[in-house]
Every structure is written in structure tokens, then in C-alpha cells.
Chains A and B, each alone.
Chain A
Amino acid sequence: GNSVTQMEGPVTLSEEAFLTINCTYTATGYPSLFWYVQYPGEGLQLLLKATKADDKGSNKGFEATYRKETTSFHLEKGSVQVSDSAVYFCALSPNTGGFKTIFGAGTRLFVKA
């Protein structure tokens, strides 16, 4: 079946540090891949997405590349800010049927000033 596995948190970084949050997936066919972010007290927001192998999604300094050979979609940012503190969810959609989205468990990021 389809599933998403992401690194456990919390991840604690100092401001301007480099961020990597690992995400791997299991899916049949060619799913679309997503990163969503959830700030405290708010709903999920789409951060970036990629729809086919080797695509790179990017937004707000974050980026992730769809790697079919390693079934991965790792999230990276070169220099994090305190305002990036949130929970990050990796997700996939099989692009078939009802486009059901399967989420990972989430990784909480704390950025210290």
C-alpha cells in the first residue's frame, strides 16, 4: 500500500543553520509528492509539491527534489529563521481515483534565535 515515512522530531536548530528533513515513500505508480507546514494554532498549508520524477518543488527558500530511484522527497533550506518553527508533513497522492492524500507523521522544527 501507499505510505510515507519521515524523520522523527523534534529537530532543534539555531537561526541560519541548514535544514534537512528526510522523507521516503512507498507507492505504486507515479504519485505526486507534497510538503505541508502547520504553524502553531493554524491549519495545514501547502509548502511545495512535485508531480514527477526529478522535479524540484520550491517555495520560501525551501526545496525538495522528487527522487524516484531512492523513493525520497527530502525537504531542505539553506538558512532557517525563527519564523520557520512549525510542524512539517510530507505527503503523497497516488493521482488516481479520488486523489486521496497520505500524510507522514510530521516533524516538529524548533529554530532558536
Chain B
Amino acid sequence: EAGVAQSPRYKIIEKRQSVAFWCNPISGHATLYWYQQILGQGPKLLIQFQNNGVVDDSQLPKDRFSAERLKGVDSTLKIQPAKLEDSAVYLCASRGLRDSTDTQYFGPGTRLTVL
């Protein structure tokens, strides 16, 4: 089965610019997560979707970050405007309904550099 797809793999922008990341989860996975992984740290959850509804966005900086999953399949994460401290790897993960525990499958990530 195909894994979690993300694009682009790398992005370099200047501060105050906008950027968007795309994620396509494993087919049939209802739960989708976006994580931010700053260099030298573990991933931090930004937002979690169950189908097209938001389950948890408590750590999403809503003044500049937004995410959507309109049809309950793929998802986009946007940053507008970007700051230097947003430089990180943005990971998308998905989880299937049959998993009674949280086994998440991760995509390769998008490495964002803000100059």
C-alpha cells in the first residue's frame, strides 16, 4: 500500500512570505496529523483532523498558521506570513480506524527554511 505523500520536499522562502504544504494520507485513513519538528527536537503536534473535522488544534499558532482537509482526504497546511522561527520540518501522519492504539504512519516531511 502506498505511504503518506507530502510535497514539496524542500522549500526556501523569505520572512513575511506565504507558503503551503500538501499531504495525502494512506488511503482510508480517517485521522490526519500535522507536526512541526524543529532541528534537534521531537515532533510537536500542530493539528489533528478526524475526517474533515478538527480534533485538536491547541498548539497551532492561529494568527499565522491554517490547515484544512475539506473532503476528508488530503490536507494543506499554510503559513502566512512566515517568521524565521518557522524553519523546521513539517511532518504529516495518518492513522487508520482499525488501530486501537495510536500507530501513526509518517510522510517524508517538508523541510522549510525561512531566510
Interface residues of A (CB under 8 A from B): 4, 32, 34, 36, 41-46, 49, 51, 89, 91, 93, 95, 97-101, 103-106
Contact = CB atoms under 8 A, between A and B. Distances in A.
Contact of A99 (B42, B43, B102, B105): B102
B42 A43 contact: no
Contacts of B29: none
Nearest to A45: B106
Given A98-B56, A100-B48, A43 B91 contact: yes
Interface residues of B, number: 25
Contacts of A105: 40-42
A95 B42 contact: no
Interface string B83-111: 00000000101010000011111111100
B106 A44 contact: yes
A109 B43 CA distance: 18
B6 to A, nearest CB: 8
Contacts of A106: 40-42
Contact of A49 (B4, B42, B101, B106): B101
A82 to B, nearest CB: 22
A88 to B, nearest CB: 11
Contacts of A4: 42
Given A43-B91, A43-B108, A103 B42 contact: yes
B8 to A, nearest CB: 14
B55 to A, nearest CB: 4
Contacts of A44: 43, 91, 93, 106
B101 A101 contact: no
A44 to B, nearest CB: 4
